[in-house]
Structure 1
Amino acid sequence: MSPTILLIFLIAYFVILIVISLVTSKNASDNASFFIANRNSKWYLVAFGMIGTALSGVTFISVPGEVGAPAGNQFQYFQFVLGNAVGFVIIATVLLPLYYRMKLTSIYSYIEQRLGYYSYKTAASIFLLSRTLGSATRLYLVVIVLQRFIFDNYGIPFWLTVLISLALIWSYTFKGGLKTIIITDTLQTFFLVLSVFLTIYFICRSLDFNIPQAFETVKNSSYSKIFFLDDFLGSKFYFSKQFIGGIFVTIAMTGLDQDLMQKNLSMGTIKEAKKNMFTFTGVFVILNVFFLSVGALLYIFAAKNGIEIPLDHITGKPRTDLLFPEIALNHLGAVPAIVFMLGLTAATFATTDSALTALTTSFCVDFLGMDKADKVNATNAVKKRHTVHIFFSILMFLVILIINAMNSSSVVSLIFTIAAYTYGPLLGLYSFGLFVKKRGLKDKLVPLVCLLSPFLCYLLASNSVKLFGGYVFSVELILVNGLITLLGLLLISHKTDAQTKF
């Protein structure tokens, strides 16, 4: 596929997003519009748009690539997805009612009211760190593809590709914020879903399969194993590890994450927010089945046509993340290549634009107190918000360069590793706030507990084979992290007669 055609398509795509931004932010450039879209979002638009935000380019490329990874991953990821679904239900029935009852703009304001000032700043700081690392990792994946298949041909260095990508995202998010994001994410999710189904069609056509034959072939292939129930101690793919990890990763990365909760809080009522979450959950599970099926079809196609997993430019080792773009852009024709680029771009930028908005919101509300700014300071507050937005764009740029230097072989595994260590303390903080009654905290010691917990988790994970008879941690490590944090909070707590409101 010609790099010039792909570049023209990319430019046209962003022109559309910028036009949408200009229209949606025309009369809505104040902070209330940027932070929570004036609390008048339509639940069905949010539910659909959240698909693109939750899936990202990692699901689009890395999950299909993992299906045929040398470790024998197959469809094991679906065990994790089933845990995700349970986590979404818990969010809808436990956390959302709390957030709506308190009329929050930043969900970390709950921690301030329940636990104290230092606990609040710690929770908000954890989010800023977690979301910056996670979103930078997701964007890194799509930039690799853009670099390899477009910008390398023009001699443009990797760092400049990253800078261009972030500048484009900033250009359509800095003014309208969440109000713009809800519309652009809806459009981008449509492109994402369309590209998944069209990709399956194009691969099936190349393999001379009709759709029923394709799914029967996938079902009977060596890639379709879902449930892994052997070797509880030594296997990272064991069902209970993936399922339990999926539940708590979802609660932490969605329910305790300002990014996705910010969209839920932009609706008028809790009833609409719950409709959004339940609808989103159903679509999320179904779409992941299709992503895994794409992965199996890619490896079947590759085996039939003698296509090897592409090698990483730096390490020279096979990189499964690059199999999908290799086949889509070089082996299926012009239209499938454009469809793939459409889906990849939509998936990844839907995640990153949302993250930049949430990071800006959290910092402005949790550290600059802009939700309390009076009308006299409104203009100055908007200027400060713009500065914060630029700052997080630059920070994400620097983090991507660091991640590129680390050169992880699979982005999906890197993301969940980051989540296990960074989101675990949030689980502990919210668990204490919600379930431990009539106990207060030595608030100034909370940051120390939240720093020690990930460190102890790292020691456990690094030595688990020796300490626990061969046990290998997977994504369930986030639960261990949360429990250690909770235990630490209990150790620095004291009895109080005060009755908690929340």
Structure 2
Amino acid sequence: METSYSIHTGESTTLGVVDFIVFGSTLSVALLIGIYYAIQSRHRNDPSDFLVAGRSMGILPVSLSLVVTFLSALTLLGLPAEIYNYNTMFWWLALGMVLAVAGAAHIFNPVFYNMGITSVYEYLEMRFGRTVTILASLNWLFQTIVYLSFVLYAPSLALKSVTGMELWVSILTVGGLVTLYTSMGGMKAVLWADSFQALLILVGLLSVFIQGTLVTDGLHNAWDIASEHSRVYFHDFSANPTTRHSFWSVAIGGGMMWMSYYAVNQCQIQRLLACPTLKRAQVAIWINSIGLAVIVSICCLIGIVMFAFYKDCHPLHYNLIQSTDELLPLFVMDILGHLPGLPGIFLSCIFSGSLSSLSSGINALSAVVLQDYVRPFSSRSLSNLQATIITKCTAASFGFLCIGLAFVASTLGNVLQVSYAILSTLDGPLFGIFILGMFFPRANQWGAIAGYISGLLFLSWVGFGAYLYDVQTPMSHFSVHGCNWNVTNSSATNFTEETEADDYLSIYHLSYLNYTATGAFVNVAVGIVVSLITGYGKPVTTDPKLICPVINTVFPCLPNTLKQKFSYTAVDIEQRAEIQIVEQVPACKKLPGDRVL
């Protein structure tokens, strides 16, 4: 069996008939779910049923959908390759995800849920006005469309690696499928399809991990091999923000990035709004955190065993693959290719990650367009039927747009880092607007606009500079002395690194995981200053329900006198003692007369 491995033959195994049957069957399930809910809801023309499932979904489907919405093929393919190329520092992201979920569930999400909105940008309109809403929603629309194009491209790359199928065939097939079932079935179809796909992802990853440990003589042996070659490394605690992956950049910077996903991203908020109560939404997001940590950990372990398998023959060196994003599909075909059906399950796992992200994104895009553009600019009130038709047509249109942009994504290189860098550049300033609005009652429209533009320009400058000067962190050492098939020197890829003195600013080395936190900080800092200048001497007129009661949430047992020192006023700071705001104290008995921040 050993001679069937690509590192011994120079040729990779391809999918068999059984694998295609398994793969096609799993894709058909998602389509059938969409058709079922399209038929079931054919007489219900309420857009809230299409967008938030009538706010009646249970905890399990919502939590499973939350898990897979942003754990797309980008993560499933990119994370094992990250461990293979560098080391295990990225594993700290599991901790960052838990911190992100805690902040989102108990600080940000209650504000949105209690307002009864459908689009998070409805909050910004109430807080800062129409101009800020347009700026923020356009940012998110562009950001999401770019992200979905990467999400669609990544599994198509995997399919090309194991079948030789042209990218355009895969992109059109998968993009058309997800557009069809999302635009037909709405949120209920999305949530139940996501739940099925979450189970597929878990089965697929476990299959690869278990078989990988068998062919590398156990996890302990694979871990030792990876450790000997510097792949097992957890103790980079450098506080330098330019360190690509340190504890602080991954756990805190990455945690801030994921908090923005779970706290203010329409894709996730829309799922939480599908729950009938805030309590259930919070339970769902905490269950989701367990799923996130498990899947990230399995992906990292697959990276460990994958490196142990290829330790003596780096596949990219002799062009077995064209990029490290194809490592995992090659590994799967090497270790599972002789077991009919299992490679098909893995391929279904990768595509499930992307289908879930695509369906969630397309549904969220249609919600934002309806609530923030169609309704406000419509000359007359839309009927439920008209709104539903517009929403379904919008979902289909965005699906086809993402198909077109997926071809552009195929030219941009490392899918994990490039997608995270682009998203964070846009996401940081956007997250900053919500932070400014929820935590600073005196922040006004001019501060929000100035902060957003400043954060976006700063991060765009940093990101463009890093791209222009091709700022990269050298990969760890690879070996090729174990490649034992007949090759010519001309077929090998040259990995010799040329060392040059940096002739660009050190800020361009800023870790891509710190982009979100940096953009949010610039936004808030500039926003506070501009708000104080433009609103000096004016009374604060912020509606209390738009402000997050963070002190009461984080420190519910503080004495009432201390809470009052941090409370805010909805009219004027001089009238603080006269303002009564209803408080929720989950951990202690509510005291009469308490006020919230």
Aligned pair 1:436/2:437, yes or no? no
3-state SS of 1:55 partner? coil
Aligned residue for 2:388? 382
3-state SS of 1:275 partner? helix
Note closer, same or farther for the CA distance 1:368–1:203 as it changes in structure 2 (3 Å cut).
same
- CA drift of 1:368 comes to 1.1
Note closer, same or farther for the CA distance 1:26–1:239 as it changes in structure 2 (3 Å cut).
same
Determine which of 122, 132, 137 is the counterpart of 1:109: 122
Note closer, same or farther for the CA distance 1:163–1:200 as it changes in structure 2 (3 Å cut).
same
2:429 and 2:519 in contact (8 A); partners too: yes
Residue type matched to 2:94 in 1? Answer: V
Aligned residue for 2:345? 339
Determine which of 258, 269, 274 is the counterpart of 1:261: 269
Aligned pair 1:297/2:305, yes or no? yes
In the alignment, the residues of structure 1 paired with residue 380 and residue 113 of structure 2 have an alpha-carbon distance, to the nearest angstrom, of 23
3-state SS of 1:303 partner? coil
Residue type matched to 2:307 in 1? Answer: Y
Note closer, same or farther for the CA distance 1:204–1:258 as it changes in structure 2 (3 Å cut).
same
- CA drift of 1:480 comes to 1.5
Determine which of 40, 43, 62 is the counterpart of 2:59: 43
3-state SS of 1:438 partner? coil
Residues 419-453 of structure 1 show CA distances to partners (whole Å, capped at 9, x for unaligned) of 2211112122112111221343238x82x753443
3-state SS of 1:245 partner? helix
In the alignment, the residues of structure 1 paired with residue 354 and residue 443 of structure 2 have an alpha-carbon distance, to the nearest angstrom, of 43
1:192 and 1:347 in contact (8 A); partners too: yes
Note closer, same or farther for the CA distance 1:197–1:220 as it changes in structure 2 (3 Å cut).
farther
Larger fraction in helix: 1
Note closer, same or farther for the CA distance 1:233–1:369 as it changes in structure 2 (3 Å cut).
closer
Mean alpha-carbon deviation: is it higher for 229-238 or for 121-130?
229-238
Aligned residue for 1:223? 231
Aligned residue for 2:573? none
In the alignment, the residues of structure 1 paired with residue 431 and residue 453 of structure 2 have an alpha-carbon distance, to the nearest angstrom, of 14
In the alignment, the residues of structure 1 paired with residue 189 and residue 349 of structure 2 have an alpha-carbon distance, to the nearest angstrom, of 20
Note closer, same or farther for the CA distance 1:148–1:341 as it changes in structure 2 (3 Å cut).
same
Note closer, same or farther for the CA distance 1:254–1:373 as it changes in structure 2 (3 Å cut).
farther
Mean alpha-carbon deviation: is it higher for 332-341 or for 124-133?
332-341
1:162 and 1:397 in contact (8 A); partners too: yes
In the alignment, the residues of structure 2 paired with residue 343 and residue 438 of structure 1 have an alpha-carbon distance, to the nearest angstrom, of 48
Aligned residue for 1:500? 543
Residues 250-301 of structure 1 show CA distances to partners (whole Å, capped at 9, x for unaligned) of 1222211100111111001110011011111122113211110011101111
Residues 1-46 of structure 1 show CA distances to partners (whole Å, capped at 9, x for unaligned) of 3365444333322222121122233232531111100001101221
Aligned residues: 486
Aligned residue for 1:407? 412
2:33 and 2:185 in contact (8 A); partners too: no
Aligned residue for 2:518? 480
Determine which of 351, 363, 367 is the counterpart of 2:369: 363
Note closer, same or farther for the CA distance 1:471–1:400 as it changes in structure 2 (3 Å cut).
closer
Aligned pair 1:63/2:79, yes or no? yes
Aligned residue for 2:95? 82
Note closer, same or farther for the CA distance 1:452–1:328 as it changes in structure 2 (3 Å cut).
same
Note closer, same or farther for the CA distance 1:234–1:368 as it changes in structure 2 (3 Å cut).
closer
Gapped regions of structure 2 (runs ≥ 5): 1-13, 472-501, 547-597
Aligned residue for 1:420? 424
3-state SS of 2:234 partner? coil
Aligned residue for 1:309? 316
- CA drift of 1:124 comes to 1.4
Q: Among all aligned residue pairs of Structure 1 and Structure 2, give the percentage whose two residues are the same amino acid.
A: 16
Note closer, same or farther for the CA distance 1:359–1:342 as it changes in structure 2 (3 Å cut).
same
Determine which of 7, 28, 33 is the counterpart of 2:49: 33
Determine which of 168, 179, 184 is the counterpart of 1:175: 184
1:329 and 1:336 in contact (8 A); partners too: no
Q: Given the two structures, how large is their TM-score scaled by the length of structure 2?
A: 0.75
Note closer, same or farther for the CA distance 1:458–1:12 as it changes in structure 2 (3 Å cut).
same
Aligned pair 1:450/2:463, yes or no? no
In the alignment, the residues of structure 2 paired with residue 367 and residue 327 of structure 1 have an alpha-carbon distance, to the nearest angstrom, of 46
Note closer, same or farther for the CA distance 1:225–1:26 as it changes in structure 2 (3 Å cut).
same
Residue type matched to 2:440 in 1? Answer: V
What are the within-5 Å matches in structure 2 for residues 158-307 of structure 1?
A: 158-209=167-218, 222-230=230-238, 232=240, 235-303=243-311, 306=313
Gapped regions of structure 1 (runs ≥ 5): none
1:25 and 1:176 in contact (8 A); partners too: yes
> For the aligned residues, what is the CA RMSD?
2.9
Higher relative contact order (CA 8 A, sep 6+): 1
Note closer, same or farther for the CA distance 1:136–1:311 as it changes in structure 2 (3 Å cut).
farther
- CA drift of 1:167 comes to 0.7
1:373 and 1:381 in contact (8 A); partners too: no
What are the within-5 Å matches in structure 2 for residues 15-30 of structure 1?
A: 15-29=28-42, 30=45
In the alignment, the residues of structure 2 paired with residue 167 and residue 232 of structure 1 have an alpha-carbon distance, to the nearest angstrom, of 44
1:421 and 1:478 in contact (8 A); partners too: yes
Note closer, same or farther for the CA distance 1:251–1:216 as it changes in structure 2 (3 Å cut).
same
- CA drift of 1:62 comes to 0.9
In the alignment, the residues of structure 2 paired with residue 45 and residue 216 of structure 1 have an alpha-carbon distance, to the nearest angstrom, of 39
Mean alpha-carbon deviation: is it higher for 381-390 or for 257-266?
381-390
Note closer, same or farther for the CA distance 1:233–1:419 as it changes in structure 2 (3 Å cut).
closer
2:212 and 2:335 in contact (8 A); partners too: no
Mean alpha-carbon deviation: is it higher for 3-12 or for 418-427?
3-12
Mean alpha-carbon deviation: is it higher for 138-147 or for 485-494?
485-494
2:79 and 2:303 in contact (8 A); partners too: yes
3-state SS of 1:174 partner? helix
3-state SS of 2:444 partner? strand
Aligned residue for 2:357? 351
1:83 and 1:247 in contact (8 A); partners too: yes
